[in-house]
């Protein structure tokens, strides 16, 4: 058995049975081994950022890691932005990067570069496997690092000769080994819990901000009960990896992206209790404005950070506060009417709220155009909301790919903006190839609209025509129906609210992927 | 004057007047400053790999660096693959990467990451500017590092507050400061020159392999004279950054990509004289095959490496050998007939040879489909040939963008393959936006054909269906006419040789960019 066969066998035995890949010559034995270990599902991407973003989306929905397979330093570079987002999402990823054969390295051939330095940007674990015999052990170590908790990107660099040589020794493991990323962690700190409980009981104004693993399941329900019982405001971090929401679930507002609005949400709070969330900071810095969004004099209680057992912390806090289970208000069912008239980003969101199917998954990279999406879908049937955790755009479509692979049978809606889509548009092809049930809503406002806003916010009062031109995507105009068709998907364009509603409904009702391009005016 | 204004003013004053960019919020002051310093030409890319590849192509043709503008660590990641190619091309690039404000860093906001580690993968110079007052000096230092010699990627990390704060002090410099990358370097080593001259005089079989700055201009002419006078075989490295060729120029074969063929080219050689080229090694390692392609017992004479003055070394060698100038044979003019019948990669290359206009620039990422391109164009009118220097695919279209910007008035032909094109397809939009005279020949064989070959070469004798599927781009089929149209270009599809010849001729005769998709069978 060669190294590649032992590696794949080991991964599959430990529950990692999906690999998003864009291989090259140095990875050919890994590819060949897919015929020896047929339990591994290889998903081809045309660009590495699709593979890494898909691994992130898969982890968020499947609750366990996928593997990636990338081609040397440049392949890792292409995948880096979405590994950054995965890092911020605490998604477990077993990131396999092929390298030249160890014997080839002294020659500094054209594709050689220092892979480990690049990998450190995103990885908690970086190891170059040194021998075929040790490779399976290296994979088990990478998997253990990836699942944490917290989940993280673990990079295993795989030299071609380690992969192709005989002498591979697979390691047996429980199929559940990868699933631990969503469970466990450090036990809660009693003193912090006590202080948080006292704060919540104090009668002073308090907020609980949740993130990570506190945004779903029992932890979400319990934290909502705590908020209801104590009168605390319940907020989610700005960009949660996966937020369960919709009718029958606890309603949770996310902290606003814009610091000005976030400050309003936090105004007057004396205590901020953090559950698997970081203390809130401005997404970007702006001249003369604070980075730290915690109000002056507000005490911060970190009852669970990444790597802590958020579920246990929430349960312990509820016990301290003697909170009764199931007392929190639940979101009432209720959806907007289908929109009519002119098509705007608001009417697109309205149609999204009107039509979102039960148990849907929304991969949200709508940016400025998606501003109304949360409100319009608040009372929609229960669904999961996946966001741009690390702020590196080009995440939405790849995460949709991974979510669809990781949660088969559920409809994925990718709420995508024109500027963002163009970083990783190749994801559409993988959706078509795999027949994934992903409906992309492409909000085309012909601009980097968020940057028009940011230009103003950073203090550029009268941007000139040359600056404006750098934010303009309308010259030439980009036609996403052509682009989607070129990549093998059914696509349609909507220019009125009625057209959008019809096309979106048709897309949702049709198995497999499709794209609805919504031509909308820029909001900003 | 703020930092951004001082930075751009300094760059322009030193001859760096083109910036390929994909900015974000932290770069908004740089963007705004384009209206203050109008001599800087900002070229927008929809993806960072387009910006960095364009900077490489620009440097190869303009002989001086462009700047880039990228958005934090993820933006650098997206640009890394083509910076790798630029590094291997010894192209000077002033790689500006925006970062969070210095005051914002302690908060570890979502987009924060360790930019410097990533930059080291490709850069000879990495500096994070620490203050607005020092920024212009940092830029001058980056430029000096970039121009070398040898040319290299110099990364200047620009914190947002360094950019936006007042107190910028521009530094005046000669407009020619950037142009030194193509000149100068360490003086040749007399002992090595003497040994090389003796070897070339010895009567033993010898080869001269040229790369880098020896592939064009006077150095190329002189080295050809040396080869003719001494009977040495003249070869170019496999992937030269820029090779001048065509009718009236010295004919030079490139060393083959496939080690098997390269070994045949070098067989029986007792002396190998290297001029701005590395000692030849296999592009990839293969089980049981050597990495080093120098024949056993062959002496290697490095008369000029990167950073050495290749022009001076060649001149000195010619003087030692008392070679008469202008004695080398020159390529006779002669072009193939226009092809007829079935369209194949061979007939596409035949049409290329038949129609290539005078003074054209070919950006060659045709991969397996481009195998016949060099032969078919050998006697075409004089032209420059730009190749995939670092092996990181996704270079061809971005380099074509940069070459067109850097050499206005010349027709650029991007010889591109389906698999490679899809990494950085966004380059087409920039071609349309800037009205660049780039004709893309898109060879669509519906597969990663090179990997089908490599699968066999790495010793996988009977690849199974699951492995084959990972190399198949035909399910679904990709339609590049739709893709080009979607990005704003005129495009046409050819399925016969006559159709291709007609469409290619029309595209060459039409100002601005267009795409001809050639449907061809996979060669391998």
How far is Cα A23 from Cα A5, in angstroms, rounded to an integer?
16
How far is Cα B318 from Cα A191, in angstroms, rounded to an integer?
82
Contact B81, B49 (CB under 8 A): yes
How far is Cα A69 from Cα A96, in angstroms, rounded to an integer?
5
Give the containing element (helix H, strand E) for B66. Answer: strand B66-71
Q: Which residue has the tokens 């267009």?
A: B514
> Tokens in use for B402?
């940069």
A236: three-class secondary structure by DSSP: strand
Contact A471, A448 (CB under 8 A): yes
B-facing residues of A in 143-172 (CB < 8 A) are: 160-161, 164
> What pLDDT, in 10s, does the model give residues B365-390?
998 878 899 999 999 999 999 999 99
Contact A518, A343 (CB under 8 A): yes
Contact B174, B143 (CB under 8 A): no
As a 3-state breakdown, chain B gives helix, strand, coil percent values, each rounded to 5, of 40, 20, 40
Which DSSP category does A395 fall into? -
Which DSSP category does A323 fall into? P
Q: What pLDDT is attached to residue B459?
A: 85
B378: three-class secondary structure by DSSP: coil
Rounded-to-10 torsion of CA A41, A47, A53, A55: 20
Query: Identical fold at B3-182 and B190-320?
Result: yes
Question: What angle, 0 to 180 degrees and rounded to 10, lies between the N-to-C axes of helices A310-320 and A190-201?
Answer: 50
Between CA B14 and CA B22, with CA B20 as vertex, the angle to 5 degrees is 135
Q: What pLDDT is attached to residue A385?
A: 98
How far is Cα B176 from Cα B103, in angstroms, rounded to an integer?
36
> Tokens in use for A448?
């980097």
What's the sign of the alpha-carbon dihedral A118, A123, A125, A130? negative
Q: Write the CATH number of the domain with boundaries A190-320.
A: 3.40.50.1220
pLDDT at A190 over 90: yes
Contact A481, A491 (CB under 8 A): yes
Q: A281 vs B107: CB contact, 8 Å cut-off?
A: yes
What's the sign of the alpha-carbon dihedral A160, A163, A165, A167? positive
How far is Cα B1 from Cα B373, in angstroms, rounded to an integer?
52
Contact A71, A22 (CB under 8 A): yes
Q: Phi, psi at residue A177, to the nearest 5°?
A: -60, -35
B-facing residues of A in 383-422 (CB < 8 A) are: 389-392, 394, 419, 422
| A chain contacts of residue B108, beta-carbon cutoff 8 Å | 278, 281
Q: What percent of chain A has pLDDT over 90?
A: 92
pLDDT at A486 over 70: yes
Confidence of residue A439 (pLDDT cuts 50, 70, 90): very high
Long-range contacts from A497-500, C-beta under 8 angstroms, 24+ separation? A497/A338, A497/A339, A497/A340, A497/A341, A497/A342, A497/A343, A497/A344, A497/A347, A497/A350, A497/A351, A498/A340, A499/A343, A500/A339, A500/A343, A500/A347, A500/A348, A500/A351
Nearest to A76, CA basis, from A157, A9, A179: A157
Q: A84 vs B113: CB contact, 8 Å cut-off?
A: yes
| B chain contacts of residue A450, beta-carbon cutoff 8 Å | 25
> What pLDDT, in 10s, does the model give residues A231-264?
999 999 999 999 999 999 999 999 999 888 999 9
Q: What pLDDT is attached to residue B524?
A: 62
A208: three-class secondary structure by DSSP: strand
How far is Cα B519 from Cα A80, in angstroms, rounded to an integer?
33
Q: Nearest CA of chain B to the CA of A512: how many Å?
A: 13
Q: What pLDDT is attached to residue B182?
A: 62
| B chain contacts of residue A459, beta-carbon cutoff 8 Å | 164
What's the sign of the alpha-carbon dihedral A292, B75, A391, A455? positive
A21, A118, A479 member nearest B121 (Cβ): A118
pLDDT at A181 over 80: no
Q: Nearest CA of chain A to the CA of B248: how many Å?
A: 31
> What pLDDT, in 10s, does the model give residues B149-192?
999 999 999 999 999 999 999 999 888 887 765 668 999 999 99
Which residues, other chains included, contact B121 with Cβ-Cβ below 8 Å and sequence gap of 6+? A73, A77, A113, A114, A115, A117, A118, B80, B84
| B chain contacts of residue A46, beta-carbon cutoff 8 Å | 419, 422-423, 473
> Tokens in use for A173?
């493991």
Q: Which residue has the tokens 């270990």?
A: A37
What is the 3 state secondary structure string of B202-225?
CCCCEEEEECHHHHCHHHHHHHHH
Chain B contact for A46, CB < 8 A?
A: yes
Q: From 3.40.50.970, 3.40.1080.20, 3.40.50.300, 3.30.930.10, which CATH number describes the B345-519 domain? A: 3.40.50.970
Cα A52 to chain centroid distance, Å, stands at 11
> What pLDDT, in 10s, does the model give residues B193-203?
999 999 999 99
B-facing residues of A in 326-385 (CB < 8 A) are: none
Q: Phi, psi at residue A268, to the nearest 5°?
A: 80, 5
Tell me whether residue A105 is exposed, middle or buried, using C-beta atoms within 10 angstroms of its C-beta: 0 to 12, 13 to 18, 19 or more. middle
Q: What pLDDT is attached to residue A182?
A: 62
Nearest to A182, CA basis, from A140, A229, A215: A215
Chain B contact for A239, CB < 8 A?
A: yes
> What pLDDT, in 10s, does the model give residues A338-350?
999 999 999 999 9
Confidence of residue A369 (pLDDT cuts 50, 70, 90): confident
- CATH class of domain segment(s) B3-182: alpha beta
State the count of interchain CB pairs (< 8 A) between A and B.
Answer: 331
Task: State which residues of chain B have pLDDT below 70.
Answer: 180-183, 524
What's the sign of the alpha-carbon dihedral B106, A263, B73, A215? positive
Q: What pLDDT is attached to residue B371?
A: 85
| A chain contacts of residue B88, beta-carbon cutoff 8 Å | 110
DSSP string for B424-473: STTHHHHHHHHT--EEEEEEE-SB-HHHHHHHHHTT--S--HHHHHTTB-
> What pLDDT, in 10s, does the model give residues A465-478?
999 999 999 999 99
B410: three-class secondary structure by DSSP: coil
What's the sign of the alpha-carbon dihedral A35, A37, A43, A49? negative
**Domain boundaries of chain B, sorted by first residue:** 3-182, 190-320, 345-519
A38, A121, A487 member nearest B117 (Cβ): A121
User: Mean pLDDT, to the nearest integer, of A271-275?
Assistant: 98
Which residues, other chains included, contact B206 with Cβ-Cβ below 8 Å and sequence gap of 6+? B199, B200, B230, B231, B232, B233, B269, B270, B271, B272, B273
Tell me whether residue B294 is exposed, middle or buried, using C-beta atoms within 10 angstroms of its C-beta: 0 to 12, 13 to 18, 19 or more. middle
């Amino acid at each position: 058995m060669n190294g590649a066969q032992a590696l794949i066998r080991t991964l599959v035995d430990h529950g990692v049975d999906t690999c998003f890949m864009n291989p090259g010559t140095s990875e050919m034995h890994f590819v060949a081994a897919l015929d020896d270990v047929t339990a591994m599902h290889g998903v081809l991407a045309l660009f590495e950022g699709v593979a890494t973003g898909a691994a992130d989306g898969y982890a968020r929905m499947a609750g366990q890691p996928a593997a990636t397979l990338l081609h040397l330093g440049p392949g890792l570079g292409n995948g880096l932005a979405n590994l950054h987002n995965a890092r911020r999402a605490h998604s477990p990823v077993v990131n396999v990067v092929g390298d030249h054969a160890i014997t080839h390295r002294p020659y500094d051939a054209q594709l050689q570069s220092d892979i480990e330095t690049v990998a450190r940007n995103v990885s908690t674990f970086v190891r170059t496997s040194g021998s075929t015999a040790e490779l399976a052990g290296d994979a088990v170590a990478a998997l253990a690092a990836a699942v944490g908790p917290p989940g993280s990107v673990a990079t295993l660099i795989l030299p071609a000769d380690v992969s192709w040589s005989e002498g591979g020794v697979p390691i047996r493991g429980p199929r559940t080994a990868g699933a631990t990323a969503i469970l466990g962690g450090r036990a809660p700190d009693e003193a912090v819990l006590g202080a948080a409980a006292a704060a919540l009981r104090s009668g002073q104004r308090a907020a609980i901000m949740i993130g990570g693993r506190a945004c779903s399941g029992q932890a979400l329900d319990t934290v909502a009960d705590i908020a209801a019982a104590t009168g605390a405001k319940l907020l989610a971090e700005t960009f949660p990896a996966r937020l369960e929401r919709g009718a029958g679930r606890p309603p949770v507002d996310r902290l606003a992206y814009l610091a000005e609005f976030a400050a309003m949400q936090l105004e007057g709070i004396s205590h901020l209790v953090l559950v698997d969330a970081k203390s809130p900071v401005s997404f970007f810095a702006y001249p003369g404005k604070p980075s730290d969004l915690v109000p002056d004099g507000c005490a911060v209680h970190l009852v669970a950070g990444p790597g802590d057992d958020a579920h246990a912390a929430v349960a312990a806090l509820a016990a301290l506060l003697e909170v009764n289970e199931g007392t929190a208000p639940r979101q009432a069912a209720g959806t907007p009417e289908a929109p009519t008239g002119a098509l705007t980003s608001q009417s697109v969101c309205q149609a999204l709220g009107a039509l979102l199917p039960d148990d849907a998954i929304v991969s949200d990279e709508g940016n400025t155009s998606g501003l109304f999406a949360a409100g319009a879908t608040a009372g929609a049937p229960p669904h999961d909301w996946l966001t741009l955790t690390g702020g590196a755009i080009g995440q939405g479509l790849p995460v949709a790919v991974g979510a669809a692979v990781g949660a088969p049978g559920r409809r994925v809606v990718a709420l995508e903006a024109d500027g963002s889509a163009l970083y990783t548009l190749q994801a559409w092809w993988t959706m078509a190839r795999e027949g994934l049930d992903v409906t992309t809503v492409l909000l085309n406002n012909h601009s980097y609209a968020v940057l028009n806003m940011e230009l103003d916010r950073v203090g550029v009062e009268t941007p000139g025509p040359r600056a404006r031109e750098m934010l303009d995507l309308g010259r030439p105009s980009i036609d996403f129906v052509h682009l989607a068709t070129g990549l093998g998907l059914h696509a349609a364009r909507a220019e009125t609210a009625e057209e959008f509603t019809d096309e979106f409904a048709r897309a949702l009702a049709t198995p497999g992927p499709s794209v609805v391009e919504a031509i909308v005016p820029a909001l900003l």
